């Protein structure tokens, strides 16, 4: 059996969550069982409408569609991230999945909603055969050190800088 | 109506095609009509099994599952790329799509299977409302200059460097 790898998509550029979803689609298309856990997200993103119809690609959201104050997060944001993390642990330990995506977990760690040591411990106990996908800006050095594939998305150009708003079906 | 933007995913890192597919999934989930044209690819990638079941996300392939010799491409590779480009023109001009993905077209241009000026001309005539997604390493400067969103994927770590082979359901 393939040992399974740890992938990180980080950096300020576009394409971190979409890459993870693309990887999930690829894995699901190979008959693998995929689950995506979204941290700090609570909005019904358009892509989720499609995932709803793919049998072996499930997802769960553990966040609100609200701005989280990094210096002073609300208790509900901490609680939601913690629940997401416990869910991630449970699914990883279940050994029932071929790929698990921890979407935006790097940001949850950066915001100190989840402790870096907890995530490092969880990575260490990744079962053989599981692909673990970690996304979000601000990936910590120790996460990168303990991962196999690491891609940094650089933002070379973005129309936000010209004042364009986020658009449905494109940014979310 | 939204004017629609030109997106480029380039660079040596992972996640260019998967990001484009993730964007396509997002757009399809918003009820938009998506087509992906793959250049220089002929293999039935695992993700295509899933796309086959998504009504408003179609695709076509214009390449072979063979190595293309950059210095001396075979006639069939040139012909396939040309057919793909003509197909892209037709679909873009049809104004029937909300998103068109030109997957790996940057590589086809870099290999001189498609002329850079042709691609620039096609970009210029993008209809209002169409999101045009261009992927592949080696995006030319003029393509970047004429695009709205540009993301460069950097390869920070990759297990190929430790001798790992491409794996089904993960790399293809």
What distance in Å separates residue A145's CA from the closest CA in chain B?
A: 9
DSSP state of A167: -
For residue A66, what are its two tokens? 């609200």
A116, exposed or middle or buried, with CB in 10 Å at 0-12, 13-18, 19+? middle
pLDDT digits (tens), chain B, 172 positions: 578 999 999 999 999 999 999 999 999 999 999 999 999 999 999 999 999 999 999 999 999 988 899 999 999 999 999 999 999 999 999 999 999 999 999 999 999 999 999 999 999 999 999 999 999 999 999 999 999 999 999 999 988 766 667 777 767 7
What ipTM describes this predicted complex? 0.93
**CA nearest A56: which of A23, A101, A6, A98?**
A98
- Integer Cα distance of B103 and B88 in angstroms: 11
Beta strands at B99-103 and B34-39: parallel, antiparallel or unpaired: parallel
**CATH number of B6-162, picked from 3.30.360.10, 3.30.420.40, 3.30.930.10, 3.40.50.300:** 3.40.50.300
Query: Do residue B144 and residue A156 have CB atoms under 8 angstroms apart?
Result: yes
Q: In this complex, is the C-beta atom of A29 within 8 Å of any C-beta atom belonging to chain B?
A: yes
For residue B163, what are its two tokens? 């001798």
Q: In this complex, is the C-beta atom of A138 within 8 Å of any C-beta atom belonging to chain B?
A: no
Q: What pLDDT does residue B21 have?
A: 98
Beta-bridge mates of residue B150: A157, B8
CB pairs under 8 A between A and B: 189
B158: chain A residues, CB-CB within 8 Å: 148-150
Q: What pLDDT does residue A163 have?
A: 64
- pLDDT band at A10; cut points 50, 70, 90: very high
Q: What pLDDT does residue A67 have?
A: 87
- Integer Cα distance of A164 and A147 in angstroms: 35
Residues A139/A94/A129/B65 CA torsion (nearest 10 deg) = -80
Residue A45 near residue A69, CB atoms below 8 Å? no
B100 φ, ψ (degrees, to nearest 5): -125, 130
Domain boundaries, given as residue ranges, for chain A = 6-162
Minimum Cα–Cα distance from B55: chain A residue: A50
The H-or-E segment that residue B109 falls in is helix B105-110
């Amino acid at each position: 059996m393939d040992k399974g790898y740890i992938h990180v998509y980080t950096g300020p550029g576009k394409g971190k969550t979409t890459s993870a979803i693309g990887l999930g689609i690829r894995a699901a298309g190979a008959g693998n069982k995929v689950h995506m856990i979204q941290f700090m997200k609570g909005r019904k993103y358009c892509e989720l409408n499609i995932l709803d119809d793919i049998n072996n690609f499930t997802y769960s959201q553990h966040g609100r569609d609200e701005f989280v104050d990094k210096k002073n997060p609300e208790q509900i944001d901490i609680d939601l991230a913690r629940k997401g993390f416990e869910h991630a642990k449970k699914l990883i330990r279940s050994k029932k999945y071929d790929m698990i995506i921890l979407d935006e977990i790097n940001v949850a760690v950066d915001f100190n909603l989840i402790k870096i040591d907890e995530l490092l411990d969880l990575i260490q106990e990744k079962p053989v055969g599981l692909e673990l996908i970690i996304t979000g800006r601000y990936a910590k050095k120790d996460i990168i050190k303990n991962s196999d594939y690491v891609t940094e998305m650089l933002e070379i150009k973005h129309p936000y800088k010209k004042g364009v708003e986020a658009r449905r079906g494109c940014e979310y």
